[in-house]
């Protein structure tokens, strides 16, 4: 299966053009696979097979205020282009293997939590991209574990996109109060916060603080990959 099969809907700009214009565009600029550059689709069947076979190698780290924080593997290999395609090339069907990967890792770690909350995007970014990639993988994971997923439990009240060039303390200030959690959903619950990638973990930390601020009992974190620091 290539993701073109499942990602044809939505608000991809090409869909607003008529069929023969799309056909002409594909002839002049054939879609290339983000994983291997083969002329096929944005994610080819070979890369899909490789992704599904990619071993799970959980990495855990201690990062306050998380009760526990893990990733399914180190950032790299086939996982890196698959996350890129999901995030920037509208390859939304990749949320299926990536969400299943999170679910398998959750089972492997033996965690038992009440609900999944994906890290939200700021509304400006959400409008640009049209979807939140973390929500897509979170919803798939929830489906496969029969757990509830509440994307609305956490909102991003301040954009944290412009962190580049800021000092460490300025970044912390910028992240503080960047998220707001809904106490009616979160209070007294054991939460699994999920995201696509973790690097320094500063964004995840800010989101976890917002959840503890409204009396979450425990906050676990899980991402598809973790960057080597």
Nearest approach in angstroms of CB 47 to Zn ion is: 3
Which C-beta is closer to Zn ion: that of 36 or that of 126?
36
Nearest approach in angstroms of CB 88 to Zn ion is: 15
Binding site for Zn ion (CB under 5 A): 33, 35-36, 44, 47
Which C-beta is closer to Zn ion: that of 36 or that of 63?
36
Question: Could you tell me where the beta strands, DSSP code E, fall in the chain?
Answer: 59-61, 68-74, 115-118, 154-156, 179-181, 190-198, 218-226
Nearest approach in angstroms of CB 78 to Zn ion is: 9
| Conformational region of residue 119, where left means phi above 0, alpha means psi within -120 to 50, and beta covers everything else | beta
Which C-beta is closer to Zn ion: that of 32 or that of 129?
32
Nearest approach in angstroms of CB 46 to Zn ion is: 5
Taking alpha carbons only, the member of 89, 116, 85 closest to residue 195 is 116
CA 124 centroid distance within chain: 17
Which C-beta is closer to Zn ion: that of 31 or that of 151?
31
Q: Sheet containing 68-74: give its strands across.
A: 59-61, 68-74, 218-226, 190-198, 115-118
Nearest approach in angstroms of CB 35 to Zn ion is: 4
Per-residue CA distances from 70 to 15, 108, 199 (Å) = 38, 11, 12
Nearest approach in angstroms of CB 84 to Zn ion is: 12
Which C-beta is closer to Zn ion: that of 82 or that of 135?
82
Q: Is the peptide bond before 186 cis (omega within 30 degrees of 0)?
A: no
Taking alpha carbons only, the member of 220, 223, 224 closest to residue 114 is 220
CA angle 201, 202, 208 (to 5 degrees): 85
Which C-beta is closer to Zn ion: that of 47 or that of 226?
47
């Amino acid at each position: 299966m290539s993701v073109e099969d499942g990602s044809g809907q939505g608000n991809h700009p090409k869909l607003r053009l008529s069929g023969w214009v799309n056909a002409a565009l594909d002839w002049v600029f054939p879609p290339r696979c983000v994983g291997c550059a083969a002329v096929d689709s944005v994610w080819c069947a070979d890369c899909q097979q490789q992704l599904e076979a990619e071993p799970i190698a959980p990495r855990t780290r201690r990062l306050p205020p998380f009760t526990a924080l893990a990733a399914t593997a180190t950032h790299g290999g086939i996982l890196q282009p698959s996350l890129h395609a999901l995030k920037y090339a509208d390859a939304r069907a990749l949320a299926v293997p990536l969400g299943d990967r999170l679910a398998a890792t959750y089972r492997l770690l033996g965690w038992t939590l009440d609900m999944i909350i994906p890290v939200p995007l700021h509304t400006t970014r959400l409008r640009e991209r049209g979807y939140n990639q973390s929500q897509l993988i979170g919803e798939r994971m929830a489906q496969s574990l029969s757990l509830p997923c509440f994307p609305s439990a956490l909102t991003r009240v301040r954009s944290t996109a412009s962190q580049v060039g800021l000092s460490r303390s300025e970044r912390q200030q910028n992240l503080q109060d960047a998220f707001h959690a809904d106490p009616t959903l979160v209070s007294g619950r054991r939460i699994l916060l999920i995201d696509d990638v973790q690097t320094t973990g500063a964004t995840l930390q800010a989101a976890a603080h917002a959840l503890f601020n409204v009396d979450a009992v425990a906050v676990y974190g899980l991402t598809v990959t973790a960057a080597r620091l």
